[in-house]
Amino acid sequence: MENYTSNYFYASLIMKSLKDDLDQAEKAELDRWLKADIKHQQIFKKLNDRQRIVKELEIYSSFDKDQIRQRLLVQVNSTRKASRLWVRIISVAAVIGGVVIGIWFFNTSSQQADNRKDVNYANDIAPGKNMAILTVSGKNINLSGARNGIVVNAENIVYDDGTSVIEEAIKSFTMTTPRGGVYQLSLPDGTRVWLNSASSLTYDFAPNEDRLVRSVKLSGEAYFEVTKDNRHPFIVKTQTQDVEVLGTHFSINAYTDEESAKTTLFEGSVKVRSLSLGEGIPEQVIVLKPGEQSALANNAIKVSPANMEQALAWKNNYFMFENENIRSIMRKVSRWYNVDVIYQGNVEQKSIEGTVSKFKNVSTVLKILERTKVVKFKIEGKQIIVMPWKGNN
């Protein structure tokens, strides 16, 4: 079954494409989605059939939209349920063939979020983009934001379109994404890595004949698609754990300001080993199965079923908040929009849910969060001030 949030996100990209309103990053993501499945191409082709669109709009215009909306919303008792219901409507509309109707729902809900009269910000902040720094032999290279990633070989490093970055053999490198930046890279063995904001990945070539070692050091968050090699396990080292695989798809969230280091397995098998934090504290080793997530905190590993969609939301270019408190949410906002977050007053730590594209300005994210009536915000330069909702008019 297709997930509702992905339908919501890609419906928005298709809608913007029809209006010729895609930026470069959005166009690249839509192109990737179209290439991933022939069914996606068929849907997109139908949506570009203007005669078909006109017919469906004629049918849609005969509906009593206000009455339908009111009937639906009467059944909704909370913002959380409303959010899920709207996404379900979009998905079902697309499945039964009313794709245009689904896009209308998306557009309407987006406009409602953008045009709310009760929330106004004097300033706004644009979303992040492709941005990273490559450090080689002590030299920093600002990587092109017009490209999605780089390809690393023993002899050189090139962009994903073949354009040269470094034309010489290297011993090691570090890729660093600042706050507000993401980037991709392919390692010499074919392994692909997506690096999230405020993260770094270090790779060292082995001092042997083939100069290939399957080991990286990670700070922050990354998603890995590891090329299978039974003779050479692939190891990701973080400050608190080592994750060992032979060939698989998984993600690691190892930000030092988070409460735990999380490893989520999507395919294959991984071994997670906690690092000893001191004398008398033993290491712990667990093996994850697909669909499981480990959380390492205080040298103890807990395994639970993973929310796969939430774990990969950042890579798929949207925020997905699932039972998160405001401080957890604002850490993600801080990294992506390159802002500092300041709290004023006693902000409640209630669980919040919501989904929004990362291509939106920060004001759109804040408006959605304010609907919960838990917090309100003020933007001052590159600072976001978080305040309790109580007393907001």
Q: Give pTM, 2 decimals.
A: 0.71
Q: Does residue 66 have a pLDDT over 70?
A: no
Quick: pLDDT tens for 69-84.
444 343 333 344 444 4
Assign domain 317-388 to its CATH architecture.
3-Layer(bab) Sandwich (3.55)
- The answer to whether residues 357 and 5 touch, using CB atoms and an 8 Å cutoff, is no
Residue 351's pLDDT is what? 85
Taking the C-alpha atoms of residue 369 and residue 371, their distance in angstroms, rounded to an integer, is 5
Among 11-15, 231-235, 270-274, the range scoring the smallest mean pLDDT is 11-15
Taking the C-alpha atoms of residue 20 and residue 27, their distance in angstroms, rounded to an integer, is 10
Taking the C-alpha atoms of residue 244 and residue 235, their distance in angstroms, rounded to an integer, is 4
Q: Does residue 304 have a pLDDT over 90?
A: yes
Residue 118's pLDDT is what? 46
Higher-pLDDT residue of 274, 65? 274
State in words which class domain 129-310 has.
mainly beta
Chain-wide mean pLDDT for the chain?
80
Query: What is the per-residue burial (b if ≥16 Cβ within 10 Å, else e) of 160-193?
Result: eeeeebbeeebeebbbbbebbbbbbbbbbbebbb
Quick: pLDDT tens for 281-294.
678 899 999 999 99
Instruction: Please state the domain extents for the chain.
Output: 4-114, 129-310, 317-388
Axis crossing angle, helix 4-18 with helix 99-114, rounded to the nearest 10: 90
Taking the C-alpha atoms of residue 243 and residue 273, their distance in angstroms, rounded to an integer, is 6
- For residues 144-164, give the mean pLDDT: 93
